């Protein structure tokens, strides 16, 4: 209870913050007829643009796009003077908006919200401020910004300095005059990079203390871009619509040029164009794969480093300014005006804190390990407690007194970045788990505000008083946010996106990187599915639509979308020959597969004819090696040595085992049990010839994917029944183990995920007569599970075959076999095996490789190299 509370008022909604978010939220809620109070610690509207008044402060999204779009008249009445407007101009714009919509009357300035408590009885929030005021509200909306709580000066001795101290994030309104002064600037993020050239114009000496060099490109500021202005004047609504459904909140034509495969000329040409354009989304989109592929990223990074080296005259300073410890784009890149050239001025010096760390700040200046510097002023451009800082700055207690700070101690957890379970009716504008800082903020802000306003409207119309996400929806969204980040290079950087700039802050990737468009679609889908993932209560009603809005791995979803767009005929409508030709055509377009030590083709005797095989030998360790006999997928009809070549290489490279991929006879030319007989014969032959193949006798495992998993499982049963050979383990990736097609996974995943129910039926029809389909050599789940080798069984969440794989794992386990069951979350029947295409398959294949390696007695190397994973940077 706030003892100092003196006044208690009731509002429908309280909003914290009067920046871009808060102002528009106020406007929208007023339109709905709600009573609203906005609190802001600042003396006027503006949010981030009220506080960050340092010299050179500008937006770095073109102002044609960095503006509200909800009010077409406003757009006509306001004209930006520059491509990237200055802070004073943006602040003027926000004042103009506040005046135009008469917003100030509902805003209490110079007032900080200190606590918010949910009252379960009243179904309202009780809000306290630092002015001793207490207000009650139904909806509590944090529009407090992503970058509004400055990091404190976390450097030893910071309080001792007797000269002037400035923070870029809290710049004095009267400005600062550095004429004739010795000035230090600590920090080279966007704020530092913007103010350094301007402060250098005044100061007699400027020393920049740099901990991490940053990528920056010239902003090329000037008039607003003519092409954008023309598009806006021709069809404003269409332009804004395109922005809303773009990846970053600005209409940009995405490229499909891959850095790794583009020619040097194309690489240069694309880079030059982006460099000349001077826009963040251009330089971040030179290549389609630069955000996910280290090699492609390095092409762009190196070209930027070339520019830095040519801009800075002193070679040692240039080298110190070249970022090398993070991939380009994984820390927020900057736009600058003459930043690097500033270091050519005789009175400007760079101190590289990597080689000369600050030991402490003294009364007179800054001491490093090597030198003592005297200064008249120190400017901290050291950044913010991003994304969660302002939310956690208020003492928020939700249902049952649950503290937001405590709930989020391991890292923030939200549903859509909009709400968090346990805190009914608390909305966040651009909260963690939403695109926010990775996008054009104004577009993301409008989308959030519109969603919240729509949600409040829907609740009032339906008579609901509270809304809150379910635990399932929230945790699944968190997984989706992590899945999206995990396929990119972003988590490898020590960035503020990761919380890495604040000591002790949990390292989680805070924003949603799946794109503004994908995110907007998810929010819309939640609503169209009756507020999926939310519980809404009121007037004796309790409506809970528990569920998960996105569960598929993002790259799998992308590939499915691309494939759907190709309009290929369904396989099951083709002849076997045409289906094989289609598959071969697809195979030819795959990216390069991982290198292995040696690949040789040969033939081995089969039961009726010779069987071609391909042997993959690892580069290391030196042989002999354990051997894995591998059978490709393709429904016993399709596939060959080429179809599963990338997977075989991947298994070989990751496990350090020899992989012998066998091309068995196919249906319909050779129907059941030909494939199974070939598989068993191949296992016998490899076992008998282990030494000449470079294998270790007795260390033999079998593996297979899909129908290959079927015959691998069958070969194990046949070997058991025949008394040999001894098989050390069976790796079954999404195997066909039964002919029964009625398990729930067929109903859930029978359509839309490449392997369909119809295709599976087509496969069975080609392979086996109905009367044979219960034979354990066709449906190993029907055979005895006793005395089988240890198994690793991989099932994919979105695979019709999932449940039979689960059943086989259980059957083997029940019979006493050692079973490792790997459940590939968010994957389809085919995606785990798509080496080099589906990045999210790599961690699953790493687990598979480990399971395979574990079949063998002596530990074998399971090298995960840069080519196989991008989880590390050299
Ligand atoms: O903050 P930052 P910012 N000792 O965190 C260094 C937006 N923005 O205010 O990288 C020494 O990026 C720190 O070093 P390191 C934009 O999204 C937009 O500049 O942590 N150094 C880093 O160099 C931006 O990304 C605009 O190793 C210390 C710097 O200080 C975000 O706001 C303009 C240190 C902080 O960089 C934040 O930008 C401005 C220490 N103890 C900002 N602590 C535009 O629209 C930190 N550093 C153009």
Residue 475 has pLDDT above 70, yes or no: yes
Q: Are 816 and 826 within 8 A, CB to CB?
A: no
Kindly give, in sequence order, each residue whose CB lies less than 8 Å from that of residue 278, ignoring residues fewer than 6 positions away: 83, 217, 218, 219, 220, 221, 335
Task: Using alpha carbons, list the distances in angstroms from residue 872 to 21, 323, 326, 836.
Answer: 37, 16, 10, 17
Q: Are 71 and 449 within 8 A, CB to CB?
A: no
Q: How far apart are CA 751 and CA 748, in angstroms?
A: 8
Compute the 3-state secondary structure of the chain and give helix, strand, coil in percent, each to the nearest 5. Answer: 35, 20, 45
Nearest atom (ligand 1) to Cα of 437: 17
Nearest atom (ligand 1) to Cα of 332: 25
Model pLDDT for residues 832-864, shown as the tens digit of each residue: 999 999 999 999 999 999 999 999 986 555 444
Query: What is the pLDDT, as a whole number, of residue 588?
Result: 85
Model pLDDT for residues 163-182, shown as the tens digit of each residue: 999 999 999 999 999 999 99
Q: How far apart are CA 672 and CA 636, in angstroms?
A: 9
Q: Whose CA is nearest to atom 24 of ligand 1?
A: 190
How far does the centroid of ligand 1 lie from the alpha carbon of residue 470, in Å?
35
357: number of Cβ within 10 Å? 13
How far does the centroid of ligand 1 lie from the alpha carbon of residue 587, in Å?
45
How far does the centroid of ligand 1 lie from the alpha carbon of residue 381, in Å?
6
Please report the sign of the dihedral spanned by the C-alpha atoms of residue 690, residue 695, residue 700, residue 705. negative
Nearest atom (ligand 1) to Cα of 331: 25
Indicate the average pLDDT of the chain: 95
Nearest atom (ligand 1) to Cα of 58: 48
For residues 206-227, average pLDDT: 96
Model pLDDT for residues 103-114, shown as the tens digit of each residue: 999 999 999 999
Q: Whose CA is nearest to atom 45 of ligand 1?
A: 59
How far does the centroid of ligand 1 lie from the alpha carbon of residue 188, in Å?
6
Site to probe by mutation for ligand 1, drawn from 190, 331, 332, 333 as the one with most ligand atoms within 8 Å of Cβ, is 190
How far does the centroid of ligand 1 lie from the alpha carbon of residue 129, in Å?
30
Q: Whose CA is nearest to atom 31 of ligand 1?
A: 190
Tokens 């820390």 locate to 331
How far does the centroid of ligand 1 lie from the alpha carbon of residue 487, in Å?
25
Site to probe by mutation for ligand 1, drawn from 335, 440, 501 as the one with most ligand atoms within 8 Å of Cβ, is 501
Q: Whose CA is nearest to atom 36 of ligand 1?
A: 189
For residues 580-603, average pLDDT: 92
What is residue 441's three-state secondary structure?
Answer: helix
How far does the centroid of ligand 1 lie from the alpha carbon of residue 66, in Å?
21
Kindly give, in sequence order, each residue whose CB lies less than 8 Å from that of residue 851, ignoring residues fewer than 6 positions away: 729, 731, 792, 820, 822
How far does the centroid of ligand 1 lie from the alpha carbon of residue 168, in Å?
10
Q: How far apart are CA 199 and CA 358, in angstroms?
A: 22
Query: What is the pLDDT, as a whole number, of residue 589?
Result: 84
Residue 867 has pLDDT above 50, yes or no: no
Query: What is the pLDDT, as a whole number, of residue 861?
Result: 52
Tokens 């006509």 locate to 76
Q: Whose CA is nearest to atom 46 of ligand 1?
A: 382
Q: Whose CA is nearest to atom 37 of ligand 1?
A: 383
Residue 874 has pLDDT above 50, yes or no: no
Residue 6 has pLDDT above 90, yes or no: no
Please report the sign of the dihedral spanned by the C-alpha atoms of residue 471, residue 477, residue 479, residue 481. negative
Q: Whose CA is nearest to atom 34 of ligand 1?
A: 382
Q: Whose CA is nearest to atom 5 of ligand 1?
A: 383
For residues 522-545, average pLDDT: 97
Residue 8 has pLDDT above 90, yes or no: no
Query: What is the pLDDT, as a whole number, of residue 860?
Result: 58
- The sheet with strand 365-368 has its strands ordered as 358-361, 365-368, 372-374
Nearest atom (ligand 1) to Cα of 500: 20
Report the number of secondary-structure helices (H) and strands (E) in the chain: 26, 29
Residue 871 has pLDDT above 50, yes or no: no
Query: What is the pLDDT, as a whole number, of residue 859?
Result: 57
Q: How far apart are CA 365 and CA 161, in angstroms?
A: 6
Nearest atom (ligand 1) to Cα of 380: 30
pTM of the model: 0.94
Nearest atom (ligand 1) to Cα of 57: 33
Kindly give, in sequence order, each residue whose CB lies less than 8 Å from that of residue 76, ignoring residues fewer than 6 positions away: none
Task: Using alpha carbons, list the distances in angstroms from residue 34 to 12, 25, 26, 109.
Answer: 6, 11, 9, 20
Task: Using alpha carbons, list the distances in angstroms from residue 338 to 61, 207, 216, 412, 826.
Answer: 18, 16, 10, 38, 46
Radius of gyration of the chain (CA): 31
How far does the centroid of ligand 1 lie from the alpha carbon of residue 343, in Å?
19
Work out the pLDDT band at 41, boundaries 50, 70, 90: very high
Task: Using alpha carbons, list the distances in angstroms from residue 498 to 193, 356, 432, 598, 704.
Answer: 21, 25, 11, 41, 39
How far does the centroid of ligand 1 lie from the alpha carbon of residue 149, in Å?
12
User: 133-142 and 7-16 as β-strands: parallel, antiparallel, unpaired?
Assistant: parallel
How far does the centroid of ligand 1 lie from the alpha carbon of residue 15, in Å?
27
How far does the centroid of ligand 1 lie from the alpha carbon of residue 196, in Å?
13
Query: What is the pLDDT, as a whole number, of residue 333?
Result: 97
Residue 3 has pLDDT above 60, yes or no: no
Site to probe by mutation for ligand 1, drawn from 211, 215, 331 as the one with most ligand atoms within 8 Å of Cβ, is 211
How far does the centroid of ligand 1 lie from the alpha carbon of residue 757, in Å?
53
Task: Read off the DSSP letter of residue 439.
Answer: S
How far does the centroid of ligand 1 lie from the alpha carbon of residue 554, in Å?
30
Nearest atom (ligand 1) to Cα of 153: 41
Model pLDDT for residues 761-796, shown as the tens digit of each residue: 999 999 999 999 999 999 999 999 999 999 999 999
Task: Read off the DSSP letter of residue 348.
Answer: E
Q: Say what percent of the chain tops pLDDT 90.
A: 94
Task: Read off the DSSP letter of residue 376.
Answer: S
Model pLDDT for residues 354-406, shown as the tens digit of each residue: 999 999 999 999 999 899 999 999 999 999 999 999 999 999 999 999 999 99
Task: Read off the DSSP letter of residue 788.
Answer: P
Q: Whose CA is nearest to atom 44 of ligand 1?
A: 59
Q: Whose CA is nearest to atom 13 of ligand 1?
A: 187
Q: Are 737 and 779 within 8 A, CB to CB?
A: yes
Q: How far apart are CA 528 and CA 524, in angstroms?
A: 6
Residue 323: left (phi > 0), alpha (psi -120 to 50), or beta? beta
Q: What are phi and psi of 560, to 5 degrees?
A: -60, -40
How far does the centroid of ligand 1 lie from the alpha carbon of residue 367, in Å?
21
* End-to-end Cα, the chain, rounded Å: 53
How far does the centroid of ligand 1 lie from the alpha carbon of residue 480, in Å?
27
Residue 677 has pLDDT above 70, yes or no: yes
Q: Are 312 and 343 within 8 A, CB to CB?
A: yes
Nearest atom (ligand 1) to Cα of 211: 27
Task: Using alpha carbons, list the distances in angstroms from residue 737 to 674, 774, 870.
Answer: 16, 10, 34
Site to probe by mutation for ligand 1, drawn from 55, 191, 386 as the one with most ligand atoms within 8 Å of Cβ, is 191
How far does the centroid of ligand 1 lie from the alpha carbon of residue 48, in Å?
14
Site to probe by mutation for ligand 1, drawn from 62, 166, 383, 385 as the one with most ligand atoms within 8 Å of Cβ, is 383
Residue 868 has pLDDT above 60, yes or no: no
User: 182-186 and 164-167 as β-strands: parallel, antiparallel, unpaired?
Assistant: unpaired
Query: What is the pLDDT, as a whole number, of residue 297?
Result: 98
For residues 531-558, average pLDDT: 96
Nearest atom (ligand 1) to Cα of 190: 19
Model pLDDT for residues 617-637, shown as the tens digit of each residue: 999 888 899 999 999 999 999
The angle subtended at Cα 43 by Cα 37 and Cα 48, nearest 5°, is 90
Site to probe by mutation for ligand 1, drawn from 219, 321, 382 as the one with most ligand atoms within 8 Å of Cβ, is 382
Site to probe by mutation for ligand 1, drawn from 156, 189, 250, 510 as the one with most ligand atoms within 8 Å of Cβ, is 189
How far does the centroid of ligand 1 lie from the alpha carbon of residue 523, in Å?
31
Q: How far apart are CA 278 and CA 218, in angstroms?
A: 6
- Residues β-bridged to residue 207: 184, 349
Which structure tokens are listed for 867? 């080519």
Kindly give, in sequence order, each residue whose CB lies less than 8 Å from that of residue 476, ignoring residues fewer than 6 positions away: 533, 548, 549, 550, 551
How far does the centroid of ligand 1 lie from the alpha carbon of residue 710, in Å?
55
Q: Whose CA is nearest to atom 1 of ligand 1?
A: 383
Residue 7 has pLDDT above 80, yes or no: no
How far does the centroid of ligand 1 lie from the alpha carbon of residue 762, in Å?
58
Ligand 1 shell residues, CB under 6 Å? 58-60, 147, 154-155, 186-192, 194, 211-212, 332, 353, 381-384, 437, 496, 501
Nearest atom (ligand 1) to Cα of 334: 48
How far does the centroid of ligand 1 lie from the alpha carbon of residue 384, in Å?
7
Query: What is the pLDDT, as a whole number, of residue 675?
Result: 98
Residue 870 has pLDDT above 90, yes or no: no
């Amino acid at each position: 209870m706030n003892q100092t509370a003196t006044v208690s008022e009731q509002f429908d909604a309280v909003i914290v913050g009067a920046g871009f978010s808060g102002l528009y939220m106020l406007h929208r809620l007023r339109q709905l007829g709600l009573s609203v109070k906005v609190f802001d610690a600042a003396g006027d509207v503006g949010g981030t643009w009220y506080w960050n008044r340092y010299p050179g402060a500008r937006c770095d999204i073109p102002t044609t796009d960095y503006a509200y779009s909800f009010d077409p008249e406003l757009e006509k009445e306001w004209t930006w003077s520059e491509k990237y407007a200055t802070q004073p101009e943006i602040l003027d714009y926000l004042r103009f908006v506040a005046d135009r919509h008469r917003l100030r009357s509902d805003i209490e300035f110079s007032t900080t919200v200190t606590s918010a408590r949910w009252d379960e009885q009243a179904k309202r929030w009780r809000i306290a401020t630092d002015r001793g005021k207490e207000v009650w509200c139904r909806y509590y909306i944090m529009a407090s910004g992503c970058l509004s709580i400055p990091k404190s000066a976390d450097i030893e001795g910071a309080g001792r300095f007797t000269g002037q101290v400035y923070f870029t994030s809290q710049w004095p309104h009267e400005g600062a005059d550095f004429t004739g002064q010795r000035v230090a600037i600590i920090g080279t993020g966007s704020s530092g990079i913007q103010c350094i050239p301007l402060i250098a114009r005044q100061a007699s000496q400027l020393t920049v203390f740099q901990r991490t060099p940053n990528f920056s490109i010239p902003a090329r500021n000037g008039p607003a871009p003519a092409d954008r202005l023309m598009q806006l004047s021709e069809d404003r609504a269409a332009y804004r619509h395109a922005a809303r459904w773009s990846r970053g909140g600005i209409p940009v034509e995405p490229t499909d040029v891959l850095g790794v495969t583009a020619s040097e000329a194309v690489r240069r040409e694309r880079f030059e164009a982006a460099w000349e354009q001077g826009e963040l989304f251009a330089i971040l989109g030179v290549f389609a794969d630069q955000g996910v592929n280290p090699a492609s990223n390095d092409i762009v990074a190196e070209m930027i480093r070339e520019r830095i080296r040519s801009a800075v005259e002193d070679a040692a300073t240039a080298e110190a300014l070249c970022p090398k410890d993070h991939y380009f784009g994984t820390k927020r890149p900057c736009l600058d005006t003459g930043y690097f050239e500033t270091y050519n001025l005789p009175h400007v010096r760079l101190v590289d804190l990597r080689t000369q760390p600050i030991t402490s700040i003294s009364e007179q200046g800054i001491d490093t390990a090597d030198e003592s510097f005297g200064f008249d002023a120190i400017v901290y451009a050291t950044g913010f407690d991003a994304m969660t800082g302002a939310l956690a700055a208020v003492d928020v207690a939700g249902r049952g007194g649950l503290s937001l700070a405590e709930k989020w101690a391991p890292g923030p957890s939200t549903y859509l970045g909009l709400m968090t379970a346990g805190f009914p009716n608390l909305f966040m504008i651009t909260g963690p788990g939403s695109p926010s800082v990775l996008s054009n903020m104004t577009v993301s802000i409008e989308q959030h505000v519109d969603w919240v306003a729509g949600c409040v409207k829907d609740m009032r119309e339906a008579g609901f008083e509270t809304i809150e996400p379910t635990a399932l929806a929230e945790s699944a969204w968190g997984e989706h946010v992590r899945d999206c980040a995990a396929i990119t290079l972003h988590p490898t950087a020590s960035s503020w996106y990761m919380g890495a700039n604040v000591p002790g802050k949990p390292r989680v990737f805070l924003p949603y990187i799946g794109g503004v468009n994908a995110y907007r679609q998810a929010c819309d889908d939640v609503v169209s599915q009756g507020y999926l993932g939310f519980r809404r209560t009121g007037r004796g009603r309790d409506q809970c639509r528990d569920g998960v809005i996105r569960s598929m791995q993002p790259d799998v979803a992308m590939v499915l979308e691309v494939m759907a767009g190709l309009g290929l005929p369904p396989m099951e409508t083709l002849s076997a020959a045409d289906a094989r030709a289609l598959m071969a055509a697809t195979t030819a377009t795959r990216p390069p597969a991982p290198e292995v030590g040696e690949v040789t083709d040969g033939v081995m005797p089969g039961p009726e004819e010779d069987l071609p095989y391909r042997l993959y030998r690892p580069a290391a360790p030196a042989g002999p090696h354990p051997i894995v006999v591998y059978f490709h997928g393709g429904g016993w009809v399709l596939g060959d040595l080429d179809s599963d070549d990338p997977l075989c290489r991947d298994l070989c490279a990751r496990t350090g085992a020899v992989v012998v991929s066998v091309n068995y006879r196919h249906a319909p030319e050779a129907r059941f049990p030909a494939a199974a007989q070939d598989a068993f014969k191949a296992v016998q032959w490899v076992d008998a010839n282990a030494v000449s193949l470079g294998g270790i006798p007795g260390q033999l495992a079998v593996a297979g994917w899909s129908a290959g998993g079927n015959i691998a499982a069958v070969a194990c049963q046949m070997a058991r029944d025949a008394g040999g050979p001894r098989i050390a383990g069976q790796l079954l990736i999404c195997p066909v183990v039964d002919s029964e097609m009625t398990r729930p996974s067929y109903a859930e995943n029978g359509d839309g995920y490449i392997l369909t129910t119809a295709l599976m039926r087509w496969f069975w029809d080609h392979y086996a007569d109905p009367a044979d389909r219960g034979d354990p050599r066709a449906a190993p789940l029907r055979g005895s599970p006793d005395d089988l080798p240890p198994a690793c069984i991989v099932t994919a969440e979105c695979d019709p075959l999932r449940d039979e794989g689960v059943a086989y794992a259980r059957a083997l386990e029940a019979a006493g076999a050692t079973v490792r069951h790997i459940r590939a979350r968010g994957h389809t029947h085919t995606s785990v095996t798509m080496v080099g295409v589906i990045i999210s398959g790599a961690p699953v294949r790493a687990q598979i490789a480990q399971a395979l390696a574990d079949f063998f007695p002596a530990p074998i190397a399971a090298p995960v190299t840069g080519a196989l994973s991008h989880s590390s940077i050299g």
